[in-house]
Amino acid sequence: MSEPHIVVQDLCLAYGPKEVIHGISFEVQRHEIFGIIGPSQSGKTSLLRCINRTIDFSAEAAVAGTITVNGQDVRQLKDVYGLRRRIGMVAPLPVGLPLSIYDNVAFAPRCAGLTKRSQLDGLVEHCLRQAALWEEVKDRLDSLGTKLSGGQQQRLTIARALSHQPEILCLDEFSIAIDPVTTMRIEDVLKELRRHMTIILVTNLTQQARRLANRTMFLWSGAIVELDRSDVIFSEHPASRKTYEYVNGIFG
Amino acid sequence: MFAETPLVRRKLRREAVAKWIFCAMAASMIVPLLLIVGYLVIRAWPSLSLRFLVDMPANHMRDGGVWPALIGTIYLVVLSLAVSAPIGVLAAVYLNEYARDNWLNRLVNMAVINLAGVPSIIHALFGLGAFVYAARFGYSIVSASLTLAIMTLPVIIASTREALASVPRSFREACWNVGATRWQTIRAVVLPNSISGILTGLILQVSRAAGETAPIMFTGAVFFKAIQRGNPLPYGLHDSFMALSMHLFTLATQVPDVKESIPFATAVVLLGSVLLVNAAAIGLRVYLRSRKRW
């Protein structure tokens, strides 16, 4: 097996006096879809925020342990902006920025210093195609991203997350605000994207992890209950009884 | 099934009464405004004309117009905002977008809140000590403008922060997630979407700066100042000056046998210019709201 893409070691996270992640360790392989399931308050979102260091924006957060991406410790990095550009992040609620559709996608490349219109045009089209949105918006790239429907905005968010050509894509419960048909379309997109990047899929739809993830981690109030291949997690006999009960809806 | 029980009838009656009381209180706000404006205009009527705006006071203030006072007030407003607007807006951006919750920022916050509560007469004394004497700006437009600037600063900071805070945090997070710096986020998303609130807050300070009397009385406004007619910039920065609010005060209290309609006409000019500016603020807000983007 090749060198893992992301290595998390003994990660602890506290907001003030309240510890929400209690020393978890795991590895994510290159080009896998890594599912994270667990109820709310289990630390899933906080974990993602540690990986792309947007946790820095929470003044009261205290992080311990190490996270490496490509062998580099992200907590020692000076250029956090470069780090964030290597990681695409999709939030639970779709966020169309109050800019045109074009500018929504071109925002990140522009921040990184790309200004040539011809290059931007190509990139915007490429990302919108990857997010399966191009056909619906190609005639109105100048209209506002905030005026799109929820499902379209979520695909716009994905296009924006792809616009800085990340090597890792993190999706945080991307489907809670959109309809099942759009969800299925995005899931197809993810299967395609997997060939180009590593995907971390946080979801509280356990069946979504079953459909997509190669391996799945079950997180429960800041600790790993079980981490294994998805066919084991979702089988009749996962290692932990709790996992079985959670994925089968007996509790949680 | 839906028969009105006495209990329901009582509830409905109370609802109606409450609504009418609230409505009456709200509507009563219109009355003083109409009375003030109506009374002023009626009393001022004999003196109101375009000439009144552009004429010098004549016959020891008993006749003529308010030109030097009008120009002085415009000077004050423009200069004080030129100082307080950039400082206030930038300070608010720092406090709202960058500042973490530490002792320095808590101190700044406390200073802003307390500064906003200082009575204008205290600002006047401060301006007199700090600008007229200590900084040796003398009894001048600079001193008065700086005093007014300090007086309006905390309110500008507060209104700007409110405008910035009305931009949802999720927009900022979306920008941070794609590797934008705070400044890139502020420039691309936060400022364009809060500019209407910021401008409205600034414009509302115009009326405050124009109306204050005490701070300028202590720092540079005078009873009478002869200025060159036809010169649009008649005052130098270190000149003492006339202003509408001060002019109204002196006409009403210091000048014997003044023609009755002149103080009222002065008041109408002051009130009219303030209302004009406020109307501009409302218009601007309506225009920018109509292009609200989410």
The 10s digit of each residue's pLDDT in A50-64 is 999 999 888 889 999
Give tens-digit pLDDT for B216-263. 999 988 888 888 777 778 888 888 889 999 999 998 888 888 888 899
Min Cα distance A85 → chain B (Å) is 5
Of A54, A98, A161, the CB nearest to B189: A98
| pLDDT band, residue A17 (cuts 50/70/90) | very high
pLDDT of residue B47: 87
d(CA A14, CA A76): 19
Chain B (160-189) residues lying within 8 Å, Cβ to Cβ, of chain A:
170-171, 173-181, 184, 188-189
Which residues of B are less than 8 Å from A146 in CB distance? Answer: 293-294
Task: Say whether residue A89 is in contact with chain B using an 8 A CB cutoff.
Answer: yes
Min Cα distance A224 → chain B (Å) is 25
pLDDT of residue B293: 67
> Which residue is listed with tokens 């700090």?
B130
According to DSSP, the β-strands at A18-28 and B57-58 are unpaired
Q: Are B231 and B10 spatial neighbours (Cβ–Cβ below 8 Å)?
A: no
ipTM over 0.90: no
| Model confidence, pTM | 0.84
Q: What backbone torsions phi and psi does residue A113 show, to the nearest 5 degrees? A: 110, 5
Contact B176 A99 (CB under 8 A): no
d(CA B61, CA B224): 8
Give tens-digit pLDDT for B84-95. 999 999 999 999
d(CA B97, CA B86): 16
The CB-side HSE value for B216 (13 A sphere, CA atoms) comes to 32
Q: Which residues contact B11 (CB under 8 A, 6 or more apart)?
A: none
Give the 3-state secondary structure of residue A16.
coil
Contact A163 B171 (CB under 8 A): no
According to DSSP, the β-strands at B57-58 and A223-229 are unpaired
> Which residue is listed with tokens 């003083």?
B32
Give tens-digit pLDDT for B255-285. 888 888 899 999 999 999 999 998 988 888 8
Q: Which domains does chain A have, with CATH numbers?
A: 6-93+168-247 (3.40.50.300)
Q: How many CB pairs under 8 A join A and B?
A: 71
For helices A180-193 and A117-130, what crossing angle results, to 10°?
120
Contact A52 B192 (CB under 8 A): no
Give tens-digit pLDDT for B99-111. 888 888 889 889 9
- B221's torsion region: left (phi>0), alpha (psi -120 to 50) or beta? beta
Min Cα distance B174 → chain A (Å) is 7
Give tens-digit pLDDT for A28-41. 999 999 999 988 88
The CB-side HSE value for A62 (13 A sphere, CA atoms) comes to 7
